[in-house]
């Protein structure tokens, strides 16, 4: 996926100005996700559970080489093909070869953020493959030609009315069709695609080293179908998705589901060990299973002495749901596949700080994300770390830096301070906002107004 | 072997080498061990009815599924005949005992109104039925209504125990079904039966024995 994060401020402004409905839809959806998460955690010892989950993921990451080799062996014993991809280009090459060898004409896709990250759809389409996103939300945004706006609910920025208009135009449904009728229209098209597809592509929520299992959580059943009906199944799995044991999986399935939607567990969970069909000695299922272990910047993040902790992420979306900044715009403003607080700390590591520079600043540092993260990623701390690095690398605006310098000079020189204080108190807001430096500074901030006598004046007059 | 040699072996070694280098100076973290029983998410729904079958019934019902509890072969047969009346055809997974197969014309899974399968286990904690790919997946997924038979003795309190019981005998794909297919992707309004079965009926066989 192309990175447009440098335009964060411009994109955020455009969303707020041109599509005010997005803010409303995203805020309502994320509040509802968060309410459900809250009630789910109310019935357990959430703090101790998060400590445990953090420990398991940190353990897996500090032993990642060993566990990846173990998972690979288990999968190969079951007849799965295991590929390793260092980059998005490697994933493309693996898919291109597969498409040619297997004569793939049609592919069904189960929602996968990694497939967005490495740009699977444009590649397949260029190869002449017809691609169907099968998650209802993904299908909606595929029709719109948009990237996902949220890790769990890719189309949360779209209202019922938006989808009614879209489906009426593209699928010929009534302009006032009910959600059931709209879902029915999509199901009709996608059911046919499922039955005719040669290739199913999924991501992977977890990869269990002990058993080589790929685990996938969902609610619609489209992931089960994508991984069961076509002759070939390709699972794209980030190397950080490792869990050591099957016993860890049962807890992680629950913790992730509860953090995402408040459900005890997603409606459907697939736990995949190998190919099915005649290869696996079973009545049906894919004859071939290809597991692609993807790096694409993850080892760089792992080498980072601080940001490596972000690799614990289970992609539940809880930090997006609680974030007052994400709620204003949804994911599109962030200009990359991962948005919200977690996107702001993993994107600079996966891509580069230079290309994603303003994202760590897209936060009020309120700390809510750290409180909901089920694996205790210190997101506010990492936002700070990336900000410091951005300043060190000279990425921040020159005006902000000179203003800070000016401020420290003024604050240590009483007479200068006094003079500025008086000037700011008498200058009307409209004029002070137009002063060369303050103009840039106040574009994303409001200027505090001086009211009444200054503290120094009161001090001089004597406090009653 | 199956490892893709062309270009892949080099990538594998380079990725593993980078991981080792990245972790080189990092202090390793110990696995915190099995989740202490006190930290398990509660089994009983709403803090009541801790019996696994009761809890499974409560959780599955809360997720929009239906649970029927049958005391023996006769009552199971009687219930099945009545239940089957609303369907014109059925697609039955391999290995469902004869006694538990409705007397309906067989159809392909994509045409049948009803799919019937036999769970290999269940977890009360999450209201989940465990289904194995060895019985065939299409009948579990394509018909709009899914009837799943579950033996009461296979219902475990926790998801961990239910998965552990299958550990030695994992099929190509083990699935958890914990309610009817649902989506809230259109305007946050819940719609059922989006792709998978929109109706899930779990029939629990309470009398132990050979079904």
Rounded to whole angstroms, the Cα distance separating B170 from A346 reads 34
What pLDDT does residue B2 have? 46
Beta carbons of B125 and A254 less than 8 Å apart: yes
Cβ <8 Å between A271 and B94: no
Place of tokens 């991809």: A85
- Number of H-type helices and E-type strands within chain A: 25, 10
pLDDT tens for each residue of A351-396: 999 999 999 999 999 999 999 999 999 999 999 999 999 999 999 8
For chain B, how many structural domains are there in total?
Answer: 1
Q: Which of A61, A76, A284 sits opposite B3 (nearest CB)?
A: A76
Residue to test with chain B: of A76, A153, A268, A292, most B Cβ within 10 A: A268
Do residues A107 and A134 make contact, with C-beta atoms less than 8 angstroms apart? no
CB A7 within 8 A of CB A358: no
Domain range list for chain A: 44-298, 399-461
CB–CB of B15 and A293 under 8 A?
yes
According to DSSP, residue A376 is labeled: -
Structure confidence at residue B208 as a pLDDT band (50, 70, 90): low
CB contact under 8 A, A160 and B20: no
Q: Is the pLDDT of residue B1 over 60?
A: no
Q: Inspect the interface and report whether the beta carbons of A187 and B11 lie closer than 8 Å.
A: no
Q: Identify the pLDDT of residue B6.
A: 47
Nearest CA in chain A to B143: A191
B38 occurs within a structural domain: no
Q: What is the CATH number of domain A44-298?
A: 3.40.50.10420
Burial of B25 (0-12, 13-18, 19+ CB in 10 A): exposed
Under 8 Å between Cβ of A379 and A322: no
Q: According to the 3-state scheme, what is the secondary structure of chain B?
A: CCCCCCCHHHHHHHHHHHHHHHHCCCCCCCCCCCCCHHHCCCCCHHHCCCCHHHHHHHHHHHCCCEEEEECCHHHHHHHHHHHHCCCCCEEECCCCCHHHCCCCCECCCCCCCEEEEECCEEECCCCEEEEEHHHCCHHHHCCCEEEEEEEHHHEECCHHHHHHCCHHHCCCEEEEECCCCEECCCCCCCEECCCCCCEEEEEEECCCCCC
Percent with pLDDT over 90 in chain B: 90
Angle of helix A20-42 versus helix A8-18 axis, rounded to 10: 100
Residue B127 lies inside a defined structural domain of this protein: yes
Low-confidence ranges of chain A (pLDDT < 70): 436-437, 444, 450, 464
Residue in this structure with the two tokens 């996608």, named with its chain if needed: A190
Give the percent of chain A with pLDDT over 70. 98
All residues of chain A having their beta carbon less than 8 Å from the beta carbon of residue B179 are 267
Task: Report the alpha-carbon distance of residue A40 to residue A58 in Å, rounded.
Answer: 24
Position B194 in a domain: yes
Which helix (H) or strand (E) element contains residue A84?
strand A81-85
Q: Is B1 domain-assigned?
A: no
Q: Is B169 on the interface with A (CB under 8 A)?
A: no
Q: How far is B74 from chain A, CA to nearest CA, in Å?
A: 30
d(CA B147, CA B67): 10
* pLDDT confidence of residue B8: 58
Per DSSP, A451 falls in state -
Mean pLDDT of B117-129: 98
Residue B24 domain-assigned?
no
| Domain hosting residue B74, numbered range | 45-205
Measured from the Cβ of residue A397, the count of other Cβ atoms closer than 10 Å reads 12
List pLDDT tens digits, range A155-206: 999 999 999 999 999 999 999 999 999 999 999 999 999 999 999 999 999 9
Chain A residue at shortest CA distance from B193: A220
Q: Look at residue B4 and tell me whether its pLDDT is greater than 70.
A: no
Owner of token pair 């005998």: B169
Is residue B17 assigned to a domain? no
Facing residue for B172 by CB, picked from A76, A269, A274: A274
Q: Does residue B8 form part of some domain?
A: no
Phi, psi of A271 (to 5 degrees): -125, 100
Q: Check residue B174 and give its pLDDT.
A: 98
B196·A81 Cβ contact <8 A: no
**B71 assigned to some structural domain:** yes
User: CB distance from B5 to chain A under 8 Å?
Assistant: no
Q: Which of A45, A80, A86 sits opposite B14 (nearest CB)?
A: A86
Q: Which residue of B has its CA nearest to A189?
A: B195
Specify the DSSP element, H or E, that contains A293. strand A288-294
CATH of the domain at B110: 3.40.50.10420
């Amino acid at each position: 996926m192309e990175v447009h994060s440098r335009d964060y401020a411009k994109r955020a402004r455009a969303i707020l100005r041109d599509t005010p409905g997005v803010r409303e839809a995203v805020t309502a959806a994320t509040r509802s996700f968060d309410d459900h998460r809250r009630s789910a955690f109310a019935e357990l010892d959430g703090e101790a559970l998060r400590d445990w989950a953090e420990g398991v993921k940190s353990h897996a990451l500090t032993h990642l080489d060993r566990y990846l080799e173990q998972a690979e062996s288990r999968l190969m014993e079951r007849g799965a093909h295991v590929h390793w991809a260092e980059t998005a280009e490697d994933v493309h090459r693996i898919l291109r070869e597969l498409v040619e060898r297997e004569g793939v004409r049609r592919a069904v896709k189960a929602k996968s953020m990694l497939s967005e990250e490495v740009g699977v759809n444009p590649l397949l389409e260029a190869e002449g493959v017809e691609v169907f996103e099968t998650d209802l939300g993904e299908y909606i945004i595929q029709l719109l030609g948009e990237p996902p706006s949220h890790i769990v609910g890719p189309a949360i920025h779209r209202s019922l009315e938006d989808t009614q208009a879209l489906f009426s135009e593209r699928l010929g449904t009534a302009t006032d069709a009910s959600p059931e009728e709209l879902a029915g229209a999509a199901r009709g098209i996608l059911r046919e695609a499922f039955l005719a597809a040669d290739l199913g592509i999924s991501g992977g929520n977890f990869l269990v080293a002990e058993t080589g299992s790929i685990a996938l959580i969902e609610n619609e059943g489209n992931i089960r179908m994508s991984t069961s009906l076509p002759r070939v199944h390709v699972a794209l799995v980030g190397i950080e998705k490792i869990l050591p044991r099957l016993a860890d999986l049962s807890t992680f399935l629950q913790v992730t589901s509860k953090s995402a939607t408040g459900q005890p567990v997603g409606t459907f969970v697939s736990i995949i060990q190998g190919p099915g069909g005649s290869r696996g000695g079973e009545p049906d299922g894919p004859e071939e299973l290809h597991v692609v272990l993807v790096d694409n910047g993850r080892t760089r993040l792992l080498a980072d002495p601080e940001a490596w902790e972000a690799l614990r992420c289970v992609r539940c979306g809880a930090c997006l749901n609680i974030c007052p900044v994400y709620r204003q715009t949804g994911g599109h403003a962030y200009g990359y596949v991962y948005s919200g607080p977690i996107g702001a700390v993993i994107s600079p590591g996966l891509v580069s700080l230079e290309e994603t520079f303003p994202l760590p600043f897209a936060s009020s540092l309120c700390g809510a994300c750290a409180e909901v993260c089920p694996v205790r990623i210190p997101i506010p701390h990492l936002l700070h770390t990336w900000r410091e690095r951005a300043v060190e690398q000279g990425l921040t605006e020159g005006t902000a830096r000179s203003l800070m310098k000016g401020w420290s000079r003024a604050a240590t020189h009483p007479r200068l301070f006094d003079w500025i204080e008086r000037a700011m108190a008498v200058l009307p807001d409209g004029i002070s906002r137009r002063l060369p430096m303050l103009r840039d500074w106040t574009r994303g901030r409001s200027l505090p107004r001086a009211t009444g006598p200054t503290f120094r004046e009161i001090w001089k007059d004597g406090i009653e | 072997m199956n490892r893709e040699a062309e270009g892949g072996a080099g990538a594998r070694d380079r990725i593993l080498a980078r991981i080792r280098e990245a972790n080189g100076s990092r202090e390793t973290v110990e696995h915190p061990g099995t989740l202490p029983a006190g930290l398990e998410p509660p089994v009983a729904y709403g803090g009541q009815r801790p019996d696994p079958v009761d809890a499974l019934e409560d959780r599955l019902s809360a997720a929009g599924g239906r649970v029927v509890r049958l005391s023996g072969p006769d009552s199971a047969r009687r219930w099945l005949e009545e239940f089957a009346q609303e369907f014109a055809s059925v697609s039955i997974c391999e290995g469902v005992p004869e006694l538990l197969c409705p007397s309906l014309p067989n159809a392909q899974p994509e045409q049948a109104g009803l799919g019937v399968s036999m769970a290999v286990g269940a977890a009360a904690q999450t209201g989940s039925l465990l289904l194995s790919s060895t019985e065939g997946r299409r009948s579990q997924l394509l018909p709009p209504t899914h009837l799943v038979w579950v033996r009461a003795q296979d219902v475990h309190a926790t998801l961990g125990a239910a998965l552990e019981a299958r550990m030695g005998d994992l099929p190509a794909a083990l699935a958890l079904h914990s309610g009817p297919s649902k989506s809230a992707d259109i305007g946050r309004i819940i719609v059922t039966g989006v792709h998978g079965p929109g109706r899930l009926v779990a029939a629990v066989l309470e009398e132990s024995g050979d079904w």
